[in-house]
Amino acid sequence: MKNKIVESKPKKQYHLERPDLLSQPWLSLGNPLTKPPREGSKKALLLAALSQGARPEAALRKELGNAGEAIAPLIRLGAVTRTQRPTEEEAKKIFASLFIPLNEEQSLALSPITKNLKETQFRVFLLSGVTGSGKTEIYLQAVKTCLQLHRQALILLPEISLTPQAVERFQERFGSRVAVLHSGLAEKERARQWQRVEKGFADVVIGARSAIFAPLSNIGLIVVDEEHDQSYKQQESPYYQARDLAVKWGMSHQATVLLGTATPSVESFFNAEKGKYELLTLKNRANNQPLPPIEVVNLQESPRQKGVFYLSLELYQKLKENLAAKRQAMIFLNRRGFAAFLTCRACEAPVLCDHCSLALTWHQNQQSLICHSCGARKFYPRSCASCGHEKFQNEGIGTQRVERDLSRLFPQARFLRMDRDSLSRKGELERQMSLIHQKKVDFVVGTQLISKGHDFKGIGLVAVLLADMSLNIPDFRSSERSFQLFSQVVGRAGRGEEEGMALIQTYNPTHRALEAALQHDYLKFFQEEKEKRELLGYPPFARLLLIRISHEKEEKLHLEAKRLVAIFQGILEGERLLGPKEAPHYKAADRFYLQILIQGKSLTRFKGRLKALLVSGSLKSPARISFDVDPATA
């Protein structure tokens, strides 16, 4: 009997709705008390905070801890008033008392940014600061200056998982001037936020890459946090790179563009080296803590913990010691699910998606095989489609498997898994982050969602289980991404008062990306990577254009690709054509894909000739054709 296939609906984005401060209760001072409260009490602290001006009640409750016991009696006495909406003056207020004094290094970095904002001219700054160096505080100070100059600010974040923490920080300082725009919002809420920006009720916009299109008319500052992150690249039509678009927007608005990161992209650092961008550097952490030391475990030689083949004895001991010290551990594995795929015990054939050329990932919690490309689902197979054998085995591991195995090794510990599967419910991300901040979990197991931007104070140990998963990707950017990933993940450790450490497990301990990450040496990695790119003719020494061709019929696709290659070769003038070759996902959602890569020092003229072909109708085709300039992978 053929297994039933459960077709999935389009993937849902998890929701991160946050009520706008305009619809939250605000508190302000009322009549003075006849008898002042005891100094240092919650009531005294609350009145002192409100003496600076009206504040959102939610922000005050968080700032003062258990403030409810002080708010209610003060409202009854008339010393504090609660209103549902702030006045226009309060809505435009900047809460200056909440800004943290900058250290010397931060002040030096902020100075040229402030100067440029006041001069109202276009300039791009690359803020390269180690993890925990206080880049966010510089963003906040720059936004304050921008607003004081009566201009608007746009803050781009690489992941919507970072928006709750960022929105909280910006709303605390700028109140209801902040609007949030990203795909995780419900359509109604996203439309409301868009209208607030369009009508001028909000002049600070925070969001993921799509927020670059926010209806701002007087942009003075654009901040791109974690500018190196590949999620700024839109991977489907319309293709765009939000970081590069931010630079273009800044030029047209005569605005200041601030690209911030601990691990700059090769292209951005090359632009800084050539003087196109101005480089600003933060070499030390804001709390003066040293960067966490990193140890590498060679999985070819290291003994393993019994029953957990991917866990070295050394890492097990470190996790045990960290738990005994009552510190949190962050376990990173960039693959969700329980197992990478299932294989037949007899013929070793993997269980594949019927609609894609990909193995299905086994999700034990859902008792389903799921395709991470098209979303199709299957139940556990009764027999192998190739040989009919009825037994299967798990191959590889995912975050679900790690969570299960570690919970067996440490039954007394509290676990939290953070990946796309665990964050599918509305509000779940904020709940989980709150648990981490409150130190109500001991182990955080997660994918790239936990690797960047988060400021968790209690992380004592960070572990990368299988570093080779990123090192061995067949793409010219794999070394760069691996270095960035290791540096970002490691940077989550030791952000509190105590020092932290990191441990990376790998089968290739001498890889240059890993060696540079161990030394926290970006310049060494950049020089080596730059030489390699120049030799091979890859960005930043060349531009790339990826042409994707797809068709439902495999034979027709190859015939059409051959025809198109002949046309493209006819318009080459010094550019290099590679392909056609099978796309990384050769079959996806019942369509077959081939790709052609055009490589040249400048693609301006080639794009002009290509446009002429499109206008003339020469490229009219039964296949789908897409053109992606500067693709994320090639």
Q: If pLDDT is split at 50, 70 and 90, which confidence band does 52 have?
A: low
Compute the distance between CA of residue 241 and CA of residue 248 in angstroms, rounded to an integer.
Answer: 11
Compute the distance between CA of residue 529 and CA of residue 535 in angstroms, rounded to an integer.
Answer: 10
Q: If pLDDT is split at 50, 70 and 90, which confidence band does 86 have?
A: low
pLDDT of the residue at 426: 66
pLDDT of the residue at 7: 41
Q: Residue 633: pLDDT above 60? A: yes
Q: Is the CB of residue 591 less than 8 Å from the CB of residue 552?
A: yes
Q: Is the CB of residue 260 less than 8 Å from the CB of residue 137?
A: no
- For 127-165, what is each residue's pLDDT tens digit? 999 988 999 999 999 999 999 999 999 999 987 766 677
- For 185-209, what is each residue's pLDDT tens digit? 778 888 888 988 998 888 999 999 9
Instruction: State the fold for domain 294-338+397-531.
Output: Rossmann fold (3.40.50)
Q: Could you give phi then psi for residue 372, rounded to 5 degrees?
A: -80, 5
Q: Residue 21: pLDDT above 60? A: no
Compute the distance between CA of residue 36 and CA of residue 84 in angstroms, rounded to an integer.
Answer: 27
pLDDT of the residue at 431: 81
Q: Residue 546: pLDDT above 60? A: yes
Q: Is the CB of residue 273 less than 8 Å from the CB of residue 479?
A: no
| Mean pLDDT of all residues in 466-488 | 89
Q: What share of the chain is helix, strand, coil (3-state, %, to 5)?
A: 35, 20, 40
Q: Residue 560: pLDDT above 60? A: yes
**CA-closest candidate to residue 282, choices 542, 522, 1, 479:** 522
- For 496-507, what is each residue's pLDDT tens digit? 778 889 999 999
Q: What radius of gyration do the chain's Cα atoms show? A: 27
pLDDT of the residue at 114: 98
**What percentage of the chain has pLDDT greater than the value 90?**
54
Residue matched to tokens 């070793």:
348
Strand order in the sheet with 278-282: 178-181, 204-207, 152-156, 219-225, 256-261, 123-129, 278-282
Instruction: State the fold for domain 96-282.
Output: Rossmann fold (3.40.50)
Q: How many CA atoms lie within 13 A of 454 on its CB side?
A: 28
pLDDT of the residue at 87: 57
Q: Residue 260: pLDDT above 50? A: yes
Of 31-35, 478-482, 554-558, the range with the lowest mean pLDDT is: 31-35
- For 266-305, what is each residue's pLDDT tens digit? 999 999 999 999 999 999 988 788 888 999 999 999 999 9
Q: If pLDDT is split at 50, 70 and 90, which confidence band does 236 have?
A: confident
CA of 604: how far to CAs of 246, 307, 335, 533, 601, in Å?
Answer: 20, 57, 38, 21, 9
pLDDT of the residue at 11: 40
Q: Residues 6 or more apart from 126 whose CB is under 8 A from it?
A: 227, 259, 261, 264, 268, 269, 271, 272, 277, 278, 279, 280
Q: Is the CB of residue 131 less than 8 Å from the CB of residue 290?
A: no
Compute the distance between CA of residue 181 and CA of residue 208 in angstroms, rounded to an integer.
Answer: 7
| Mean pLDDT of all residues in 85-114 | 82
- For 604-624, what is each residue's pLDDT tens digit? 999 999 999 999 999 999 999
Could you tell me how far CA 25 lies from the centroid of its own chain?
A: 31
Q: Is the CB of residue 63 less than 8 Å from the CB of residue 49?
A: yes
pLDDT of the residue at 427: 67
Q: If pLDDT is split at 50, 70 and 90, which confidence band does 334 have?
A: confident
- Torsion sign across C-alpha atoms 511, 515, 518, 521: negative
Q: Residue 514: pLDDT above 90? A: yes
Q: Is the CB of residue 155 less than 8 Å from the CB of residue 243?
A: no
Q: If pLDDT is split at 50, 70 and 90, which confidence band does 111 have?
A: very high
543-629 has CATH 3.30.70.360 classification: yes
pLDDT of the residue at 628: 95
| Mean pLDDT of all residues in 36-53 | 81
Compute the distance between CA of residue 332 and CA of residue 419 in angstroms, rounded to an integer.
Answer: 10
- For 566-594, what is each residue's pLDDT tens digit? 999 999 999 999 999 999 889 999 999 99
Give a three-class secondary structure readout of 595-633: EEEEEECCCHHHHHHHHHHHHHCCCCCCCEEEEEECCCC
Q: If pLDDT is split at 50, 70 and 90, which confidence band does 512 have?
A: very high
pLDDT of the residue at 457: 84
Q: Residue 22: pLDDT above 90? A: no
Domain locations in the chain as residue ranges: 26-83, 96-282, 294-338+397-531, 543-629
| Mean pLDDT of all residues in 421-441 | 80
pTM comes to: 0.81
Compute the distance between CA of residue 42 and CA of residue 68 in angstroms, rounded to an integer.
Answer: 9
Two tokens, residue 276: 């196109």
Two tokens, residue 592: 């077959």
Q: Residue 85: pLDDT above 70? A: no
**Identical fold, 96-282 and 294-338+397-531:** yes
| Mean pLDDT of all residues in 464-483 | 89
Q: Is the CB of residue 428 less than 8 Å from the CB of residue 420?
A: no
Q: If pLDDT is split at 50, 70 and 90, which confidence band does 24 have?
A: low
Q: Residues 6 or more apart from 109 whose CB is under 8 A from it?
A: 127, 129, 138, 280, 281, 282
pLDDT of the residue at 295: 93
DSSP-derived letter for residue 21 is G
Two tokens, residue 589: 């959602």
Buried b (16+ CB within 10 A) or exposed e, 228-259: bbbbbbbeeeebbbbbbbbbebbeebebbbbb
**What percentage of the chain has pLDDT greater than the value 70?**
93
* Number of neighbouring beta carbons within 10 Å of residue 33: 14
Residue matched to tokens 């037994």:
391
pLDDT of the residue at 15: 37
Compute the distance between CA of residue 414 and CA of residue 256 in angstroms, rounded to an integer.
Answer: 45
**CA-closest candidate to residue 121, choices 278, 268, 260, 253:** 253
The DSSP result for 500-551, as a single string, is -EEEEEES-TT-HHHHHHHTT-HHHHHHHHHHHHHHHT-TTSSEEEEEEEEE
Judge residue 134's burial from the number of C-beta atoms within 10 Å of its C-beta, 0-12 exposed, 13-18 middle, 19 or more buried.
buried
Compute the distance between CA of residue 325 and CA of residue 317 in angstroms, rounded to an integer.
Answer: 12
Beta strands 328-332 and 443-446: pairing type?
A: parallel
pLDDT of the residue at 289: 83
pLDDT of the residue at 149: 95
Q: If pLDDT is split at 50, 70 and 90, which confidence band does 214 have?
A: very high
Compute the distance between CA of residue 335 and CA of residue 360 in angstroms, rounded to an integer.
Answer: 13
Two tokens, residue 69: 């016991």
Compute the distance between CA of residue 299 and CA of residue 512 in angstroms, rounded to an integer.
Answer: 17
Q: If pLDDT is split at 50, 70 and 90, which confidence band does 225 have?
A: very high
Q: Is omega for the bond preceding 580 within 30 degrees of 0, making it cis? A: yes
Mean pLDDT score of the chain, rounded to an integer? 87
Compute the distance between CA of residue 129 and CA of residue 188 in angstroms, rounded to an integer.
Answer: 37
Compute the distance between CA of residue 628 and CA of residue 558 in angstroms, rounded to an integer.
Answer: 20
